[in-house]
Amino acid sequence: ACYQRALDSSSINESKSILLEYANCEEYHGNKKEAKKLYELGISRYPKDDNIWSLYIQLERKRTNSYITNDFNYSQLFDIQSNDSDEVKGLIVKRKSLYNN
């Protein structure tokens, strides 16, 4: 309810920030399912926003225990890692396909 009121009273640019803040808050408080739903909503609204994609992929890597290794650097975020789950690999392929069209 609070989230919807915040969105209704904000501009489009602000609504993306609000969506990400709520997703981060849900993730921080352990509600991964709701955070995932919010990230998916963000991707559906802003499909070429790398910030949303990166946060969503990181959430899924944590959730599926295929999180980044110590020698990982940010430039590799959108590269499939050897320990990525099939779900994470699918997200990365889907994100990359947006830029190949």
CA distance 76 to 89: 13
Under 8 Å between Cβ of 57 and 72: no
Tens-digit pLDDT profile for residues 42-95: 998 888 888 888 888 888 888 777 655 555 555 667 777 777 888 888 888 888
Phi-psi region of 11 (alpha: psi -120 to 50; beta: other; left: phi over 0): beta
Q: What is the pTM of this model?
A: 0.71
- Band (96; pLDDT cuts 50, 70, 90): confident
Q: What is the pLDDT of residue 64?
A: 74
